[in-house]
Protein backbone atom coordinates (compact mmCIF):
# COMPACT_ATOMS: atom_id res chain seq x y z
CA UNK A 1 0.00 0.00 0.00
CA UNK A 2 1.14 3.54 -0.72
CA UNK A 3 0.52 6.33 1.76
CA UNK A 4 -1.71 8.92 0.15
CA UNK A 5 0.13 12.19 -0.03
CA UNK A 6 -2.11 15.22 -0.37
CA UNK A 7 0.02 16.65 -3.18
CA UNK A 8 -0.64 13.63 -5.40
CA UNK A 9 -4.38 14.35 -5.58
CA UNK A 10 -3.68 17.34 -7.80
CA UNK A 11 -1.31 15.43 -10.07
CA UNK A 12 -2.60 13.87 -13.27
CA UNK A 13 -0.61 10.94 -14.66
CA UNK A 14 -1.21 9.98 -18.29
CA UNK A 15 -0.76 6.28 -19.02
CA UNK A 16 -0.31 5.03 -22.58
CA UNK A 17 -0.82 1.29 -22.83
CA UNK A 18 -2.87 1.38 -19.65
CA UNK A 19 -5.30 -1.33 -20.75
CA UNK A 20 -2.62 -4.02 -21.05
CA UNK A 21 -1.36 -6.48 -18.46
CA UNK A 22 1.13 -4.15 -16.73
CA UNK A 23 -1.04 -1.11 -17.38
CA UNK A 24 -4.05 -2.37 -15.47
CA UNK A 25 -1.92 -3.24 -12.45
CA UNK A 26 -0.24 0.17 -12.67
CA UNK A 27 -3.43 2.21 -12.92
CA UNK A 28 -4.85 0.56 -9.80
CA UNK A 29 -1.62 1.25 -7.90
CA UNK A 30 -1.52 4.89 -9.01
CA UNK A 31 -5.08 5.35 -7.77
CA UNK A 32 -4.10 3.69 -4.50
CA UNK A 33 -1.27 6.21 -4.19
CA UNK A 34 -3.74 9.06 -4.60
CA UNK A 35 -3.03 10.17 -8.18
CA UNK A 36 -5.54 11.12 -10.83
CA UNK A 37 -5.00 8.90 -13.88
CA UNK A 38 -5.77 9.58 -17.52
CA UNK A 39 -5.65 6.45 -19.71
CA UNK A 40 -5.42 6.98 -23.45
CA UNK A 41 -6.74 3.94 -25.29
CA UNK A 42 -8.76 2.73 -28.21
CA UNK A 43 -11.99 0.85 -27.50
CA UNK A 44 -12.84 2.49 -24.18
CA UNK A 45 -15.72 0.03 -23.70
CA UNK A 46 -13.23 -2.81 -23.29
CA UNK A 47 -11.73 -1.21 -20.17
CA UNK A 48 -14.50 -2.03 -17.70
CA UNK A 49 -12.07 -2.80 -14.87
CA UNK A 50 -10.56 0.67 -15.17
CA UNK A 51 -13.81 2.58 -15.72
CA UNK A 52 -15.07 1.76 -12.22
CA UNK A 53 -11.95 3.05 -10.46
CA UNK A 54 -12.09 6.44 -8.75
CA UNK A 55 -10.05 9.30 -10.21
CA UNK A 56 -9.53 7.42 -13.50
CA UNK A 57 -10.62 8.76 -16.87
CA UNK A 58 -10.33 6.55 -19.93
CA UNK A 59 -10.19 8.51 -23.17
CA UNK A 60 -11.00 6.75 -26.42
CA UNK A 61 -8.43 8.00 -28.90
CA UNK A 62 -5.82 7.01 -31.46
CA UNK A 63 -2.50 7.79 -29.77
CA UNK A 64 -0.66 7.47 -33.08
CA UNK A 65 -2.15 10.78 -34.18
CA UNK A 66 0.05 13.60 -32.89
CA UNK A 67 -2.81 16.09 -32.54
CA UNK A 68 -4.62 13.61 -30.27
CA UNK A 69 -1.57 13.34 -28.03
CA UNK A 70 -1.23 17.12 -27.86
CA UNK A 71 -4.90 17.44 -26.93
CA UNK A 72 -5.22 14.67 -24.36
CA UNK A 73 -1.90 15.21 -22.58
CA UNK A 74 -2.83 18.81 -21.82
CA UNK A 75 -2.89 19.39 -18.07
CA UNK A 76 -0.97 16.22 -17.20
CA UNK A 77 2.02 16.28 -14.88
CA UNK A 78 3.72 13.11 -16.12
CA UNK A 79 3.46 10.51 -18.88
CA UNK A 80 4.06 6.77 -18.50
CA UNK A 81 4.52 4.91 -21.78
CA UNK A 82 3.88 1.16 -21.67
CA UNK A 83 2.99 0.72 -25.35
CA UNK A 84 4.67 -2.26 -27.03
CA UNK A 85 3.97 -5.21 -29.32
CA UNK A 86 5.91 -8.46 -29.28
CA UNK A 87 4.92 -9.38 -32.84
CA UNK A 88 4.22 -7.29 -35.92
CA UNK A 89 0.68 -8.02 -37.03
CA UNK A 90 1.06 -5.16 -39.50
CA UNK A 91 4.24 -4.30 -41.32
CA UNK A 92 6.06 -1.43 -39.69
CA UNK A 93 4.37 -1.81 -36.31
CA UNK A 94 7.69 -1.98 -34.45
CA UNK A 95 8.82 1.27 -36.03
CA UNK A 96 5.54 3.08 -35.40
CA UNK A 97 4.93 1.95 -31.82
CA UNK A 98 8.46 1.57 -30.47
CA UNK A 99 10.25 4.44 -32.24
CA UNK A 100 7.80 6.93 -33.73
CA UNK A 101 5.50 7.03 -30.69
CA UNK A 102 8.29 7.96 -28.24
CA UNK A 103 9.25 10.80 -30.59
CA UNK A 104 5.62 11.98 -30.63
CA UNK A 105 5.40 11.75 -26.84
CA UNK A 106 8.39 14.08 -26.46
CA UNK A 107 6.82 16.50 -28.95
CA UNK A 108 3.53 16.51 -27.05
CA UNK A 109 5.31 16.89 -23.71
CA UNK A 110 7.23 19.92 -24.96
CA UNK A 111 4.00 21.50 -26.22
CA UNK A 112 2.20 20.84 -22.92
CA UNK A 113 5.17 21.70 -20.68
CA UNK A 114 5.28 18.20 -19.16
CA UNK A 115 8.70 17.50 -17.67
CA UNK A 116 8.38 13.89 -16.48
CA UNK A 117 8.28 10.72 -18.61
CA UNK A 118 8.70 7.08 -17.61
CA UNK A 119 9.26 4.70 -20.49
CA UNK A 120 8.96 0.91 -20.53
CA UNK A 121 11.54 -0.79 -22.73
CA UNK A 122 12.95 -4.33 -22.59
CA UNK A 123 16.07 -6.09 -21.43
CA UNK A 124 18.73 -6.32 -24.20
CA UNK A 125 17.15 -3.48 -26.18
CA UNK A 126 20.18 -2.01 -27.90
CA UNK A 127 19.78 0.07 -31.04
CA UNK A 128 21.94 -1.36 -33.80
CA UNK A 129 23.31 -4.23 -31.69
CA UNK A 130 20.27 -6.33 -30.75
CA UNK A 131 19.67 -9.68 -32.50
CA UNK A 132 16.00 -9.08 -33.42
CA UNK A 133 13.91 -6.32 -34.95
CA UNK A 134 11.82 -6.21 -31.77
CA UNK A 135 14.80 -5.54 -29.50
CA UNK A 136 16.42 -3.19 -31.99
CA UNK A 137 13.26 -1.08 -32.25
CA UNK A 138 12.90 -1.00 -28.46
CA UNK A 139 16.49 0.20 -28.21
CA UNK A 140 15.87 2.92 -30.78
CA UNK A 141 12.79 3.95 -28.83
CA UNK A 142 14.85 4.27 -25.65
CA UNK A 143 17.41 6.49 -27.34
CA UNK A 144 14.64 8.55 -28.92
CA UNK A 145 12.74 9.23 -25.72
CA UNK A 146 15.92 10.15 -23.84
CA UNK A 147 16.46 13.00 -26.32
CA UNK A 148 13.74 14.66 -24.26
CA UNK A 149 16.52 15.65 -21.84
CA UNK A 150 17.54 18.27 -24.42
CA UNK A 151 14.08 19.80 -23.96
CA UNK A 152 14.19 19.76 -20.16
CA UNK A 153 12.20 16.52 -19.83
CA UNK A 154 13.25 14.11 -17.10
CA UNK A 155 13.11 10.60 -18.56
CA UNK A 156 13.52 7.25 -16.81
CA UNK A 157 13.58 3.99 -18.75
CA UNK A 158 12.81 0.58 -17.28
CA UNK A 159 14.14 -2.55 -18.98
CA UNK A 160 12.45 -5.66 -17.56
CA UNK A 161 12.97 -9.29 -18.35
CA UNK A 162 9.74 -11.22 -18.89
CA UNK A 163 7.02 -10.07 -16.46
CA UNK A 164 4.72 -12.43 -14.57
CA UNK A 165 1.65 -12.02 -12.39
CA UNK A 166 -2.15 -12.45 -12.48
CA UNK A 167 -3.29 -11.99 -16.07
CA UNK A 168 0.17 -12.48 -17.59
CA UNK A 169 0.83 -13.93 -21.03
CA UNK A 170 3.67 -16.11 -19.76
CA UNK A 171 2.51 -18.74 -17.28
CA UNK A 172 -1.13 -18.33 -18.23
CA UNK A 173 -0.25 -19.02 -21.85
CA UNK A 174 1.77 -22.10 -20.90
CA UNK A 175 -1.15 -23.32 -18.75
CA UNK A 176 -3.68 -22.85 -21.55
CA UNK A 177 -1.48 -24.64 -24.06
CA UNK A 178 -0.75 -27.54 -21.73
CA UNK A 179 -4.46 -28.27 -21.38
CA UNK A 180 -4.57 -29.47 -24.98
CA UNK A 181 -1.34 -31.44 -25.38
CA UNK A 182 0.33 -34.33 -23.57
CA UNK A 183 3.69 -33.79 -25.28
CA UNK A 184 4.96 -30.26 -25.92
CA UNK A 185 7.71 -29.67 -28.52
CA UNK A 186 9.57 -26.64 -27.18
CA UNK A 187 11.64 -24.31 -29.34
CA UNK A 188 14.69 -22.60 -27.79
CA UNK A 189 14.44 -24.63 -24.56
CA UNK A 190 17.75 -23.26 -23.25
CA UNK A 191 16.86 -19.59 -23.68
CA UNK A 192 17.25 -17.95 -20.27
CA UNK A 193 14.97 -15.47 -18.50
CA UNK A 194 14.83 -13.76 -15.10
CA UNK A 195 11.06 -13.37 -14.57
CA UNK A 196 10.11 -10.26 -12.62
CA UNK A 197 6.86 -9.83 -10.69
CA UNK A 198 4.44 -7.27 -12.12
CA UNK A 199 3.85 -5.66 -8.70
CA UNK A 200 7.60 -5.09 -8.34
CA UNK A 201 7.71 -3.42 -11.75
CA UNK A 202 4.69 -1.27 -10.90
CA UNK A 203 6.25 -0.27 -7.57
CA UNK A 204 9.38 0.87 -9.41
CA UNK A 205 7.29 3.01 -11.77
CA UNK A 206 5.35 4.70 -8.95
CA UNK A 207 8.46 5.27 -6.83
CA UNK A 208 10.30 6.71 -9.84
CA UNK A 209 7.74 9.43 -10.47
CA UNK A 210 9.04 11.83 -7.83
CA UNK A 211 12.53 10.43 -7.30
CA UNK A 212 14.99 12.89 -8.85
CA UNK A 213 17.86 10.41 -8.60
CA UNK A 214 16.15 8.31 -11.30
CA UNK A 215 16.04 11.15 -13.85
CA UNK A 216 17.99 10.26 -16.98
CA UNK A 217 18.58 6.68 -15.83
CA UNK A 218 17.91 3.31 -17.46
CA UNK A 219 17.30 0.39 -15.11
CA UNK A 220 17.38 -3.35 -15.74
CA UNK A 221 14.59 -5.11 -13.82
CA UNK A 222 14.98 -8.84 -13.17
CA UNK A 223 13.66 -11.33 -10.68
CA UNK A 224 15.95 -13.00 -8.14
CA UNK A 225 16.71 -16.09 -10.26
CA UNK A 226 17.27 -17.04 -13.89
CA UNK A 227 15.62 -20.06 -15.55
CA UNK A 228 15.68 -21.72 -18.93
CA UNK A 229 12.48 -21.69 -20.95
CA UNK A 230 12.20 -25.44 -20.39
CA UNK A 231 12.42 -24.93 -16.63
CA UNK A 232 9.62 -22.34 -16.79
CA UNK A 233 7.35 -24.75 -18.66
CA UNK A 234 8.19 -27.63 -16.33
CA UNK A 235 7.46 -25.37 -13.34
CA UNK A 236 4.03 -24.65 -14.86
CA UNK A 237 3.37 -28.38 -15.26
CA UNK A 238 4.37 -29.06 -11.66
CA UNK A 239 2.26 -26.17 -10.37
CA UNK A 240 -0.82 -27.39 -12.23
CA UNK A 241 -0.25 -30.94 -10.99
CA UNK A 242 -0.64 -32.45 -14.45
CA UNK A 243 1.30 -35.11 -16.35
CA UNK A 244 2.92 -33.60 -19.42
CA UNK A 245 6.16 -34.21 -21.31
CA UNK A 246 8.36 -31.41 -22.66
CA UNK A 247 10.30 -32.25 -25.82
CA UNK A 248 13.24 -29.83 -26.16
CA UNK A 249 14.05 -28.99 -29.77
CA UNK A 250 17.52 -28.36 -31.16
CA UNK A 251 18.51 -25.07 -32.73
CA UNK A 252 17.78 -26.06 -36.34
CA UNK A 253 14.35 -27.48 -35.50
CA UNK A 254 13.57 -24.44 -33.31
CA UNK A 255 14.39 -22.13 -36.19
CA UNK A 256 12.19 -24.16 -38.56
CA UNK A 257 9.30 -24.19 -36.08
CA UNK A 258 9.57 -20.42 -35.65
CA UNK A 259 9.36 -19.86 -39.41
CA UNK A 260 6.33 -22.14 -39.70
CA UNK A 261 4.47 -20.69 -36.72
CA UNK A 262 5.17 -17.17 -37.97
CA UNK A 263 2.38 -17.69 -40.51
CA UNK A 264 0.03 -19.54 -38.15
CA UNK A 265 -3.07 -17.76 -36.78
CA UNK A 266 -2.13 -15.73 -33.73
CA UNK A 267 1.60 -16.13 -34.46
CA UNK A 268 2.38 -18.22 -31.34
CA UNK A 269 6.09 -18.02 -32.24
CA UNK A 270 7.82 -15.92 -34.87
CA UNK A 271 11.27 -15.96 -36.36
CA UNK A 272 11.88 -12.59 -34.71
CA UNK A 273 10.94 -14.15 -31.34
CA UNK A 274 13.47 -16.89 -32.09
CA UNK A 275 16.14 -14.23 -32.75
CA UNK A 276 15.28 -12.43 -29.49
CA UNK A 277 15.82 -15.66 -27.57
CA UNK A 278 19.35 -16.04 -28.93
CA UNK A 279 20.47 -13.67 -26.18
CA UNK A 280 19.66 -14.39 -22.53
CA UNK A 281 17.05 -12.10 -20.97
CA UNK A 282 19.06 -11.72 -17.77
CA UNK A 283 21.19 -8.96 -16.31
CA UNK A 284 24.51 -8.79 -14.48
CA UNK A 285 23.06 -5.95 -12.42
CA UNK A 286 21.16 -6.58 -9.20
CA UNK A 287 17.68 -5.13 -8.74
CA UNK A 288 18.25 -1.37 -8.36
CA UNK A 289 18.80 -0.63 -4.67
CA UNK A 290 17.37 2.88 -4.98
CA UNK A 291 13.84 1.47 -4.99
CA UNK A 292 14.24 -0.52 -1.76
CA UNK A 293 12.40 -3.50 -3.26
CA UNK A 294 13.16 -7.17 -2.72
CA UNK A 295 11.98 -8.81 -5.96
CA UNK A 296 9.54 -11.65 -5.46
CA UNK A 297 10.45 -15.12 -6.81
CA UNK A 298 7.96 -16.73 -9.14
CA UNK A 299 7.61 -19.73 -6.80
CA UNK A 300 6.00 -17.49 -4.17
CA UNK A 301 3.47 -15.92 -6.53
CA UNK A 302 2.59 -18.02 -9.58
CA UNK A 303 0.93 -20.96 -7.77
CA UNK A 304 -1.62 -18.59 -6.21
CA UNK A 305 -3.08 -17.47 -9.52
CA UNK A 306 -2.43 -20.55 -11.65
CA UNK A 307 -4.08 -22.88 -9.14
CA UNK A 308 -7.10 -20.58 -8.86
CA UNK A 309 -7.40 -20.62 -12.63
CA UNK A 310 -7.08 -24.41 -12.70
CA UNK A 311 -9.74 -24.81 -10.00
CA UNK A 312 -12.12 -22.54 -11.92
CA UNK A 313 -11.55 -24.65 -15.02
CA UNK A 314 -12.34 -27.85 -13.12
CA UNK A 315 -15.51 -26.27 -11.72
CA UNK A 316 -16.61 -25.28 -15.22
CA UNK A 317 -16.09 -28.86 -16.40
CA UNK A 318 -18.13 -30.21 -13.47
CA UNK A 319 -20.96 -27.84 -14.38
CA UNK A 320 -20.77 -29.02 -17.99
CA UNK A 321 -20.94 -32.68 -16.97
CA UNK A 322 -23.95 -31.84 -14.78
CA UNK A 323 -25.69 -30.29 -17.78
CA UNK A 324 -25.49 -26.73 -16.43
CA UNK A 325 -24.24 -23.76 -18.42
CA UNK A 326 -25.53 -20.90 -16.25
Question: Into how many domains does the chain fold?
Answer: 1
Range of the domain at 55: 8-161+198-222
Is 138 contained in some domain? yes
How confident is the model at residue 44, as a pLDDT? 81
Is 91 contained in some domain? yes
- Whole-model pTM over 0.85: yes
Is 2 contained in some domain? no
Say yes or no to pLDDT of 309 above 70: no
- CA 127 to chain centroid: 20
How confident is the model at residue 229, as a pLDDT? 99
Q: Give the three-state DSSP class for 104.
A: helix
Is 303 contained in some domain? no
Is 152 contained in some domain? yes
Is 32 contained in some domain? yes
How confident is the model at residue 325, as a pLDDT? 45
pLDDT tens digits, 197-254: 999 999 999 999 999 999 999 999 999 999 999 999 999 999 999 999 999 999 999 9
Q: Give the three-state DSSP class for 227.
A: strand
How confident is the model at residue 128, as a pLDDT? 84
Is 241 contained in some domain? no
Say yes or no to pLDDT of 141 above 50: yes
Average pLDDT rounded to a whole number, residues 148-153: 98
Is 268 contained in some domain? no
- What percentage of the chain has pLDDT greater than the value 90? 85
Q: What is the CATH number for 99?
A: 3.40.50.720
**For residue 80, what is the enclosing H or E element?**
strand 78-81
pLDDT tens digits, 28-58: 999 999 999 999 998 887 788 999 999 999 9
Amino acid sequence: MYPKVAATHNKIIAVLGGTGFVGQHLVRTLVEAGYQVRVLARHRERCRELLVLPRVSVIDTNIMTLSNLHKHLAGCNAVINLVAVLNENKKGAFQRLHVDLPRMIIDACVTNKIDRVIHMSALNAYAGKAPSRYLTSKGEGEDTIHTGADEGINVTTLRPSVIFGPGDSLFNRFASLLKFVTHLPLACPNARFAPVYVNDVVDVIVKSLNEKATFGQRYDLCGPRAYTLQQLVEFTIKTLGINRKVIPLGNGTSKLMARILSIAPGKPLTYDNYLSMQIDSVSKEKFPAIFNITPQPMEAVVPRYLMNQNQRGQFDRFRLYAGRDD
